[in-house]
Chains A and B, each alone.
Chain A
Amino acid sequence: MSLLAASFLPLALLFLLLPLWPLLSRWRAGVAVAGERIWPIGAAWDAPARASLQRVQESFSDLLQHAERDGLIRGAREDGALFMILGPHDYLSEHLQISTRRLRTQLLAVGHLDIPGELICDRLVYAQARLNIAHNVVLRTALAGRDAVIGPRARVRQWIHAGNRLDVAEGAILAGCASAGQEIVLARRARFERLLSARIRFGHSFGQRRPAAPLRCLEMQLPAHARQMSDGRWLVDGDLSIPPARQLKARLIVNGSLLVGTGSQLRGELHVMGELVVHHDAYIHGAIQCDAEMRVGECCLLAGPIRCAGSLSLGSQTIVGTPNRPSTIIARQLQIHEGCIVHGAIHAIQRGEVCAESART
């Protein structure tokens, strides 16, 4: 075969099979990141907060500079919305009447901003530096250039974003999305809906016991009634139990419930149609989808994204995702015990709560 013929062959094949390209590209995209692509990615949750931050920085940059030099500025926008800009030496409580319970002005601060307790803020609250929100405050939206601290039983109704760290005290309620550039720390009995940060810590007891190092596990064989499907996954009809200290490398679909024993390792995607119970010190590397209730013991490592149609309970000291590969948790009801760390995003569709540290599952 001549060189011309040899070069013609692949070119002709390429042209003839070109219509398959959109199909193949879509199929490859679906297979490569199946666990992350089909689920909502939390990266867009803080888009309103970032857009609002950009608007504030564009619209009020001149006024913020004036306030930094001259102190307090009060004014109104063309649409009639009132705003108040506090200078670095102004305190909000000095400029409020004692009887004020509800603030309908947009509140901006050049430096730190302390919001006194039991105040209701209906407009955006923005602090270039640190934002301290006292107890029982109700906020609609809040932006902090650096850190934000939410006091006990305070409530955020739409969203809050902190540039660095967001600290949420006991009993606070975060409706909507709470995001932070570096870290979110939630105390016990705090309730949340959507959280997004590089690291989300629950409670203050983290580090009491690190997750156990991977044990020298024995390989486990699938039961005889398991059968392989066309896409390479294994279908197990009925319940499945993985004994303690066993290792299983397979992509599984379990028709019943699944019990993962203490210290076991499971490498591969997992779809459980019944209840999923993971005992302590277990390690699951892969996406988890559970159609019923899911209970995870303490000191577990869950590397992949998790979607649970029922309630999900994470035991203390459990870690979800890694700093390099953030993960996503989506569950209808979410109970996370103190000491857990999640890297990535969390979405509790109905209710999310931080619970006190639990006993071993």
Chain B
Amino acid sequence: MNGPHSLEPADEQSSALMAATGRLRALRSKTPPLTPGRRAAQAVLLALFISLMLLLALPSISQLQAQLSTQLLRALSIELSLVEDELLLRQLPLAMRFGLDISVAAADWFVLSLHAVIITGVFCFALAMRSTPARLVVQALCVTHGISLALIKLQADHYSWDVLRHTQSLVDFSLLWLLLTPSLLAAGYYLSERRLFNRLLATLLIIAYQILSLPLKLVLHCLLISQLSTAVIPLLFLACGPLLDVLMFGALYTWVLSWPALLHRSRRPARPA
């Protein structure tokens, strides 16, 4: 019978491919798998290499972040003075620390009262929310802000936390977190992920996010402080400061853990035509 039954050349090609695949599998099976110790050593070496590269690039990264923040603040017409400060870490002389200072009026009695009224309203609204986690988060933020307002009102003379120190703290933590990222990945992700391309791309993605998010976060904080007064600094530091960095790192970490093989080589022979 003719039609679909003339498959001799394709069969030959298929058998050749099958043989080649068999040889490849045999070669692969001779390669011993990595022992846990070797895999850990590989992860540590990779983390050390990436940390070293980050350390070397840290002055450039800081400079880039400072320039980005400055340009963004100028574009938003917010008066600022960029302050370059002492070294980030004594033992890391290449690192550079910076902070942003903007001119903003101190919170007076009227502003504090307005904030108190608003958070009372939000707290009451949260009581009617059905979703328990969202309700608890909103209530916790309201209570935090309320406590900070009370401290500002009662301890006005001792309240010396300004925008410059706030932004410097954010920069400190972000750069430190950036340097710690390869080590954190080596402690978990590099051990479970065997594919080098996945490891490198995930590390690059997380580091790029951390580098780019810092200027945006600083400008966002400055913008909110300039609009809502200095009374929101404690709330911003607690809710959108280091906690946000850790949360976003966790989100990215879980996402990259679920990645499939990005450079996938098909082991099956091609279908005969």
Chain A positions within 8 Å of B, measured between CB atoms, are: 1-2, 4-5, 8-9, 12-13, 15-20, 22-23, 58-60, 62-63, 73, 75-78, 228, 230, 232
- Complexed CA–CA distance, A17 and B213 (Å): 10
Interchain CA distance A12-B7 in the complex, whole Å = 60
List 26 contacting pairs A-B, 8 Å CB cutoff, sorted by A: A4-B75, A4-B76, A5-B76, A8-B72, A9-B220, A9-B223, A12-B220, A15-B213, A15-B216, A16-B216, A16-B220, A16-B244, A17-B248, A18-B209, A19-B251, A20-B248, A20-B251, A22-B254, A22-B258, A23-B254, A60-B3, A60-B4, A62-B2, A62-B3, A63-B3, A230-B133
Q: Determine the chain A residues whose CB is within 8 A of the CB of B271 once the complex forms.
A: none
Docked-complex contact B133 and A8, CB < 8 angstroms: no
Cα A16 to Cα B251 in complex, Å, equals: 12
Count of B residues near A, CB < 8 Å?
A: 32
Tell me, rounded to whole Å, the shortest Cβ–Cβ distance linking B132 to chain A.
5
B38 interface contact, C-beta 8 A: no
Residue B219 lies at the interface, judged by CB distance under 8 Å to chain A: yes
Minimum CB–CB distance for B90 against chain A, Å = 30
Which residues of chain B come closer than 8 Å to A5, judged between CB atoms?
76-77, 223, 227
Interchain CB contact (< 8 A) of B223 among A8, A19, A60: A8
Contact B251 A12 (CB under 8 A): no
- A1 to B77 CA separation, bound complex (whole angstroms): 10
A66 to chain B, nearest CB (A): 9
Question: Which one of B216, B227, B248 lies within 8 Å of A12 (CB-CB)?
Answer: B216
Measured CB to CB, the closest approach of chain A to B14, in angstroms, equals 12
Bitwise interface map of B from 186 to 222 toward A, beta carbon under 8 Å scored 1, else 0 = 0000000000000000000000010011001101100
Asked if A232 contacts B131 (CB within 8 A), the reply is yes
Determine if B1 is an interface residue (Cβ-Cβ < 8 Å).
yes
B235 at the interface (CB under 8 A from A): no
Task: Please give the residue numbers on chain B whose beta carbons come within 8 Å of chain A beta carbons, in ascending order.
Answer: 1-7, 11, 72, 75-77, 130-133, 209, 212-213, 216-217, 219-220, 223, 227, 244, 248, 251-252, 254-255, 258
Contact B77 A2 (CB under 8 A): yes
Chain B residues within 8 Å of A58, by CB: 4
Q: A9-B223, A16-B220, A19-B209 are in contact. Are A78 and B251 (CB under 8 A)?
A: no
User: Residue on A with the closest CB to B255?
Assistant: A22
Shortest 5 CB-CB contacts between residues of A and residues of B: A19-B251, A59-B4, A75-B1, A22-B255, A19-B252
* Of listed B2, B4, B77, B254, residue having the most chain A CB within 10 A: B4
For the complex, give the distance between the alpha carbons of A88 and B212 in Å. 72
**Cβ of A63: which chain B residues have Cβ within 8 Å of it?**
1, 3
User: Shortest beta-carbon distance, B121 to chain A, in Å?
Assistant: 21
Question: A55 CB to closest chain B CB, in angstroms?
Answer: 9
**Residues of A contacting B4 in the complex (Cβ-Cβ under 8 angstroms):** 58-60, 77
How far is A246 from B1 in the complex, measured between Cα atoms in Å? 70
Bound complex: CA of A63 vs CA of B220, how far in Å? 72
CB distance from A6 to the nearest CB of B (A): 10
CA distance A246 to B195 in the complex (A): 58
Complex alpha-carbon distance, A59 and B1, angstroms: 12
> Which partner residue on chain A sits nearest B131 by CB separation?
A232
In the assembled complex, the CB of A59 is this many whole angstroms from the nearest CB of chain B, namely 4
Of chain A, the residue at the smallest CB distance from B227 is A1
- Closest B residue to A13 using CB positions: B220
Shortest A150–chain B CB gap in Å is: 30
Instruction: Point out the residues of chain A lying under 8 angstroms from B72, CB to CB.
Output: 8
A8 touches B255 (CB 8 A): no
Chain A residues in 8 Å Cβ range of B130: 232
CB <8 Å contact, B133 and A19: no
- A77 nearest in chain B by CB position: B5
A67: min CB distance to chain B, Å: 12
Complex interface: chain B residues within 8 A of A17 (CB): 248
Expressed in whole angstroms, the Cα–Cα distance for A23 and B213 within the complex equals 19
Nearest-Cβ distance from residue A159 to partner chain B, whole angstroms: 22
Q: Hey, which chain A residues are within 8 Å of B212, CB to CB? A: 15
B132 touches A230 (CB 8 A): yes
What's the minimum C-beta distance from B204 to chain A, rounded to whole angstroms?
14
By beta carbon, the residue of chain A nearest B11 is A78
B205 to chain A, nearest CB (A): 9
CB-nearest residue of chain B to A230 = B132
Please give, as numbers and ranges, the residues of chain A lying within 8 Å of B1 by CB-CB distance.
Answer: 63, 73, 75-77
* Cα(A15)–Cα(B131), bound, Å: 25
CA gap between A75 and B244 in the complex, in Å: 71
CA A228 to CA B244, docked complex, whole Å: 30
Q: How far is the CB of A216 from chain B (nearest CB, A)?
A: 28
A63 to B213, CA, bound (A): 66
Within 8 Å CB of A19, what residues of B?
209, 248, 251-252, 255
Which of the residues B3, B76, B132 comes within 8 Å of A8, measured between beta carbons? B76
